[in-house]
Structure 1
């Protein structure tokens, strides 16, 4: 074929495997587990059922596939480590800058970190530290559910359909779960009914922050002056 030749012969597959192996042997390549087990002077590979198969009895294309996957997994692990290191470095840089400002203005250092946005002088690049909260709900949630349901049932046809849907989606206790987004949405709905206000209070007091995590985010302005995120995400493709 002109652009792509399909490898079919055993010799061609062996050559391709040797080429991959040579690439993996380069000085900067990540460490790779080749999956080979030696026993009694012979080489085996472990199968999915836990048994061992002689390497010489495994199809060349299967060996090639195995090496390709192992190579990419090793590289992915190395890249993941670099991304984690960069994330920590970026957060440290932002925190150092915040500490400098605190020292300048005599503010107390430490304490709970918050969202921070840093921009360049020309306002074309921005780094943000965003704090994500992971929440759960305490036993007050059951009281909130009872009061919300009491309101929408009594309001009957006067209750908006989307409001009833939000209450139903928020409290899926029969399935052993809740919809956090729908529940938090209920806190934004205003009503003069005291039971509704009590339900919102119970819901607020049911919220428990179980973890907080900081994330760095990076932006540049495009030709139209709109902030565009710099992606560090394989699913999103290359950074724009």
Structure 2
């Protein structure tokens, strides 16, 4: 049995620290508690080692990917500028493909409230003879989650509704103008073609392997 938190002060010989930070005589700890601690410590150690390996492999994958993209660009005496991403590389036989995707983290500024006001006006005007399903979709788009955040995907999906109304179109313009990209994250996804010719993602999710 080891110290549960190696970052804290080392317990005196013959003692271990409990969850409250108190030193407990090792002789007073039940065998089942010692065994549980050993199992947890072993799993955590392996998980941290695996995470470190994954970080190293990710760095190599990203580096190899971008090095090749730059090399390919030099074939045409040019240089890739701006944000890289959303690029696919294929193996020569077409069995494998590697995709670099960029996912933006977006938020809405105050103009989203302008859009909501315009949409509310539309709903009031459409009260008679309007489609209740469309109303439900619209109201649901502006519902907040447990953290008080608006689901951006639902809000953006409103722009795909085929509604030819001047005020509605103004609201959609307000939503588009309200979009603010606060950060971007790059992902590498790898695929293998199966016997049916469909590409199946090679999962790198620990929970899915």
TM norm structure 2 = 0.89
Deviation above 4 Å: which 4+ runs of structure 1?
32-36
SS in 2 for 1:156: coil
Aligned to 2:194: 222
Shift of 1:173: 6.2
Conserved 8 A contact 1:219-1:229: yes
Where does 1:9-158 land on structure 2 (aligned, <5 Å)?
Answer: 33=6, 37-39=10-12, 42-158=13-129
SS in 1 for 2:163: coil
- For residues 60 and 148 of structure 1, what CA distance do their matches in structure 2 show? 65
Shift of 1:187: 1.3
Shift of 1:35: 8.6
SS in 2 for 1:168: helix
Mark the runs of 5 or more structure 1 residues left unpaired by the alignment. 1-16, 22-31
SS in 2 for 1:85: helix
Shift of 1:66: 0.3
Aligned to 1:236: 208
Shift of 1:228: 0.6
Greater CA radius of gyration, 1 or 2? 1
Aligned to 2:152: 180
Tell me, yes or no, if structure 1 residue 205 matches structure 2 residue 197: no
TM norm structure 1 = 0.79
SS in 2 for 1:228: strand
Mark the runs of 5 or more structure 2 residues left unpaired by the alignment. none
